[in-house]
Amino acid sequence: MCYLIAKNIDDVGCVALRTTHGKHLSSFKRSIESKVGYDKIQLVTISRPSAYGEYEPYHFVNTEKEFVHAVEAM
């Protein structure tokens, strides 16, 4: 288990999706990067949110669709 984090470098907080490591996560991350670019949105995979206070507050979403929608709205 891990969390995919999306953070706008100009804002406080992030969007987080609980997921698992593997090919699907890598493909999912690349597809998001192709839509939003690399300039303003940082995508990071972390093990547990409590260890990464610099991304707080976390806004947790339940599905990949919700995650993509939230990232595109950043």
Q: Residue 19 pLDDT > 90, yes or no?
A: yes
Structure confidence at residue 23 (pLDDT)? 95
* 44: Cα separation from own chain's centroid: 6
Cis bond upstream, residue 49 (ω within 30): no
pLDDT > 70: what percent of the chain?
100
Over residues 36-64, mean pLDDT: 93
Q: What are phi and psi of 54, to 5 degrees?
A: -65, -15
Over residues 13-22, mean pLDDT: 95
Over residues 44-48, mean pLDDT: 94
What are the boundaries of each domain within the chain?
2-72
Contact 23, 35 (CB under 8 A): no
Over residues 23-37, mean pLDDT: 93
Helical segments of the chain, H only: 23-36, 64-72
Contact 59, 14 (CB under 8 A): yes
Q: Which amino acid is at 73?
A: A
